[in-house]
Chain A
Amino acid sequence: MPVTGPIDCDVHPTVPNLAALHPYLDDLWRETVVRRGLDELNTISYPSRSPLTVRADWRDDAGKAATSAATLAEQALAPFGTSHAILNCLYGAQSLFSEDLGAAFARAINDWIAREWLDRDPRLRASIIVPMQNVELAVDEVNRVAPDHRFVQVMLLAGAELPLGKRQWWPLYAAAERHGLPVGIHAGSTYRHPVTPVGWPSYYTEDYVNQAPAIQTQLTSMVAEGVFARHPNLTVVLMESGVTWLPAYLWRLTKFWKGLRSEIPWVADPPASIVRDRVRLTLQPFDGPPDAAAVMSVMEHIGSDDILLFSTDYPHWQFDGLDAIPAGLDPGLARKIMAENPLRTYPRLQQTAHTMSPAQTGEETAA
């Protein structure tokens, strides 16, 4: 299918309730969930009723949105003329303390996404949810799901047990690289640690605002540990965590790389050039200046037309009406952000629809 419209790199399908995943759980885990009374896995990253979690005009009678492919198509695809949208499911499988239960829910979510969403609308693509509790199990899940080329990325959360650059994670990056899948790091946390380096905040607003600094520390970890040198074909996408912090962050990181690079001799290139080559950021929530005239100055500081990817962050409330593209953005840059940059970032988006499913790609599933 030729791509003609925007590619939305961050939309969120809502798991209507835990029972919706029952058919996708193995017998043991389904029985576990029922017998032990496991409640919904909505995390404190996105409280169900918060004004940010679901934009008011997108809410249904139950206060939810994006509970079906049809609703999502009507609210998030049609109005923007979107060609493709990438589903990032934020149901909290990663936060369960049991590694086995985490893996069971990751499998259930991915299979639910394939059946209930990808099968029902050919414009939809998705990120693979992995059990962040255990890298070995995460690799298994990537290998199991990756043959379905409608899955275009591996998704992690900004807050894990260990910084994402550490070598415990590297087998996961090797698997992603092998399958041609970027690794997307999305705002949110498993809450093994407080979101901030100074302890737990009081307000939800703080948690959400702190997602940007939190994702910055993950980028520092990945650069410093040498993830990009070790995995030359890996792309990392930072999702739903702002974009205008990038220049000042890189100035500081590069300065300390100059001063302390003897500590990390494997990082041979300046961090700013590593990030410009290998890291991408989704657009919403856009955190630009209120003065539209200053927006392009910030874009100059970012210093690359290739780095931003269009996203609406549907159904989260980041803008009103159809104003997904921030005022003040140069139209030429906006066009690149909408389609060209996403197509370059996600190789699987360039494949045509009829080669998408495992049967056609000829890859064997690990399942």
Chain B
Amino acid sequence: MNVDVLNRSGMQPAAASKVGIADCDVHPRPTGAGIGGVSKSLYPYLSKRWQEHVEAYGVLYRQPWEKGSAYVKGQPQACRRDAWPPGGMPGSDLAFMQAQHLDPNNVVLGILNPLTSGQGAQNPELSAAITHATNEWQVAEWTSRDTRLRASVVVPYEDAVASVKEIELRAGDPNFAQVLLLSRTAEPLGQRRYWPIYEAAAAAGLPVGVHAFGYGGWPITGSGWASYYLEEMVGHAQAQQALLISMIFEGVFERLPSLKVVMIEAGLAWGASLAWRMDRQWAKLRAETPHLKLKPSEYLRRNVWFTTQPIEEPEPREHLAEAIEWLGWDRVLFATDYPHWDYDDPAQALPIQMTEAQRRAVFLENARAVYRVG
């Protein structure tokens, strides 16, 4: 087997990076332990009624475990070993994150994607309460303290009415850059029950980010529950293909031409093949979806963006540049996934030939345009 050995001699150490970058996937989490899966640092934003609820019943998801995620992670909290601040959880300490990541990597725009926000909780009212508290917390503890950071409006997406209420509350607030969903939903995301969320997001001028993971209750395969965490991780690419297929064929982008959707943490090299497949089948079966006025690939290339991490690593590496070329350089948003274990270092994650314009687009300008941040 031929193996590409990456020549790092010509690369800048990350700390010396002169060009500012956008990191479109940064994970903050509330500090400190809690009872029932909700940190006490969220309590200032959570009513007494829900504090008592989580202390008695916890937060239950469509998965077996009272605490933790369905599959055993590769390492604790799926985080970098060096990302644990003294006495706290990874991503819980702004000063530590600044010193370890934001400053040395010259991050000028960081999109916060909280993942322990009650999204997908079985109890819809509880999901609404925790997501609301998480949004309050993001502003109070993060975006108001570091102007490089922008929050995501986390919404209880299985309840569109409650989600719309939360989006309308945040509309026009410059602390928020997008509405955030998780990918593993109860039904495919193109279905009608979710449309009010997209209408509200489009009305507020906010992109909708869809991050890997979630609690829809369906196995990661079309054939039952897989055995391994590895299968779940690889499978996020198939889950995101499925939800994109749904959004496109249901006509979400036909109805809302200005809606922006950002696919987060599920790869991007599969985008071109999916576009080709959709177009070829749509050409034969289009009478079934007469509401579509464009080819599926045209919606994909108009309305959908992809974050880079975990970036695919072909051998030879140049194949990745071709895969991006087929998808479009304007579709690609750099992301590190800090502080998770499969973090992509901005100095090393894209070892492919890029023009200066392509490099600037991927590392900064595309994100500025999508998120409308100057």
The interface of chain A, by Cβ under 8 A from chain B, is 50-52, 158-166, 189, 192-206, 208-210, 212-214, 216-218, 220-221, 224-225, 242, 244-245, 247-249, 251-257, 259-260, 262-264, 270, 273, 285-290, 294, 297, 300-301, 317
Contacts and interface: CB of A to CB of B under 8 A. Distances in A.
23 contacts: A160-B224, A161-B224, A189-B223, A197-B220, A197-B221, A199-B216, A202-B246, A206-B249, A212-B241, A213-B242, A217-B222, A218-B221, A220-B226, A244-B277, A245-B274, A248-B273, A251-B314, A252-B269, A259-B341, A262-B74, A264-B228, A300-B319, A301-B322
Contacts of B270: 245, 248-249, 252
Contact of A193 (B223, B250, B274, B281): B223
Contacts of A204: 285, 288
A199 B188 CA distance: 6
Interface string B140-167: 0000000000000000000000000000
B323 interface: yes
A263 B313 contact: no
B280 A285 contact: yes
Contacts of B187: 198-200
A205 B282 contact: yes
B68 to A, nearest CB: 16
Interface in B271-292: 272-274, 276-282, 284-285, 287-289
Interface residues of B, number: 68
Interface in B190-238: 190-191, 216, 218-231, 233-235, 237-238
Given A158-B222, A160-B224, A244-B276, 12 more contacts: A158-B223, A163-B227, A166-B227, A199-B218, A202-B249, A203-B249, A214-B223, A220-B230, A220-B235, A221-B226, A248-B270, A287-B276
Contacts of A198: 183-185, 187-189, 216, 218, 239, 242-243, 246
A248 B267 contact: yes
Contacts, number: 247
Contact of B221 (A200, A221, A262, A300): A221
Contact of B312 (A202, A210, A248): A248
Interface in B322-342: 322-323, 326, 341-342
Contact of A221 (B74, B231, B245, B341): B231
A244 B282 contact: no
